[in-house]
A and B are shown apart, each in its own frame.
Chain A
Amino acid sequence: MPIEQICTIAEAVKLNAYAYSFTLEVGDMVTRHGLMAGQFLHIACGEGLLLRRPISVCMVQQEEPHDTARIVFEVRGEGTQWLAERQVGDKVNVLGPLGNGFAVAPNDRLLLVGGGIGVPPLLGQAAFTAKNATAVLGFRSADRAMLEEDYQDYCEAVYLCSDDGSLGRHGFVDAQLKDILEQDKNFTAVLACGPKPMLKNVAKVAARYGVPCQVSLEERMACGVGACLGCAVQMADGTMKHVCKDGPVFDAKEVDWNV
């Protein structure tokens, strides 16, 4: 069940020119309310903005006296700019835990595919399946890369790609994914997070190799709790589901990729 929590920022790190990593003290949200990586927090970003901003949880830790949750975000507009200006010791008002994370088991062999700001939400899944996962991380360019070392720590293998060739393989993550699956289809699931066109391509490749695929989707939200029906996504069967309540993680087969 979600709660409202005033969270103190315990750690604030700038990962690159655009991205920030915050560790929030979330009270007993992990211990008592079951907050998990892959779910999201709905964060009030200043007095002047009406709506909260949804940000995925990338890692959680049960700790005394406060559980902690790590979030990583990029500055996109006013809300995330406000958040980026917060300092250690500042407080933010958060709703959570919200949404459903990835369905994974500790001994799963996962193939994680992240693009840009879709990279962080998969880190918790890598940690959960300690040294069993393979990660494919894509960035626009080397200056936007982040968390490569964290992934190295938790994964069996890490592949880096960049759109401009300034880091790792020159090209998109789905090409790397295809090469990996061509060699070895023996993965429990592909988990993907990133821009929708990337997710569409990843879903296509996973389907071709017969590996189940879960994707974390984004949509503009108001309430974040399932009350306003604002964050709709179209499903392949013609129905609408809601990112905040039914997602953000969906089975790739359920999603209508052609809209």
Chain B
Amino acid sequence: MSKVDLSVDLVGVKLKNPVVVASGTFGFGREYGQFYNLNELGGICCKGLTLHRREGNPPPRIAETPMGILNSVGLQNPGVDAFIQHELPELKKHDLAIIANISGNTPEEYGIMCEKLSAAGVDMIEVNISCPNVKAGGLAYGTKPELAAEVTKMAKSHSTVPVMVKLSPNVTDITEIARAVADAGADALSLINTLRGMRIDINTRRPILKMNTGGLSGPAVLPVAVRMVWEVACAVDLPILGMGGVAKGEDAAQLMLAGASAVAVGTACFADPYAPIKVRDGLSAIAAAQGLDKVSGLTGSVLPW
């Protein structure tokens, strides 16, 4: 069996394989880096950064659901400067694409963070306009086309590296936001972020999460992700990093067929730290079995009825 070329191009950033790890599920790589060399990965979307350090939401922050989890971490992070000083140098010792993920309270904050991160030499910036957890911002940007466009413009004009905008699935029509963001100059799109959900303990009558609601991720959301990647791929001509529920090669292949150039693995790591590597190998086997010489041949080749 001939070897499949796993490399993909995400707006000029070359990934040696199409498997990236999803923001917020992999920290800054240190923890899972104890299990295997991070060079195995195509790239890492780092934990979401804000301009200043955040302690995040009160616990409990995690609730298990059928084939998924709800989280309300609330963007706990050390702040963009601490990331640049303490985490980025460690990550740079490895050979993988470093994608910083940012959330701001105002468009200006996005601008400041993009400047700092571009100067510090990350490979790409993922702009989170969709985090459903933070009352002060987050949701509003991702659900209103004008606000999403404003943030995208701000990020683009303050960045010297490609800007990927991460879309929220908590909207009626995701293509509307995708178009607004594309028109505002985004270089790539990533989707999906978590879906808002809730779980209640019937005995105490209390929600499990202290914030009452949280974001759903994991295998339960895969079909939603596939559908949204497909809709967005049909609507705009930008490369897509697809994510949501990927746990094996077949899941990744579905997202790529729907239109993703690369995929991110998140929640699956919690069950199996080696999930990203297994997804990569599974994807490679699928491409080989289908006679492809390049895994990128899968992208967008769904045959809709």
Contact = CB atoms under 8 A, between A and B. Distances in A.
Q: Do A and B come from one complex?
A: yes
Contact of A219 (B59, B208, B272): B59
Nearest to A242: B76
A50 B271 contact: yes
A222 B62 contact: yes
Interface stretch (A100-108, A140-148, A230-238, A246-254): A230-238
Contact of B271 (A2, A44, A220, A238): A44
Nearest to B28: A227
Contacts of A2: 34-35
Contacts of A193: none
A240 B73 CA distance: 11
Contact of B61 (A1, A220, A224): A220
B24 A50 contact: no
A159 B55 CA distance: 40
A7 interface: no
A57 B43 CA distance: 35
Assign chain B's interface to a size class. 35 or more
B68 to A, nearest CB: 7
Given A4-B274, A223-B270, A239-B55, A228 B24 contact: yes
A181 B69 CA distance: 44
B67 interface: yes
Interface in B75-108: 76
A227 B31 contact: yes
B56 interface: yes
A95 interface: yes
Contacts of A232: 56-59, 61, 73, 76
B282 interface: no
A50 B55 contact: no
A66 to B, nearest CB: 21
B18 interface: no
Given A226-B27, A227-B25, A229-B47, A51 B64 contact: yes
B140 interface: no
Given A228-B71, A229-B56, A234-B59, A49 B64 contact: yes
9 contacts: A2-B35, A50-B218, A220-B61, A220-B208, A223-B25, A227-B25, A228-B25, A229-B27, A234-B58
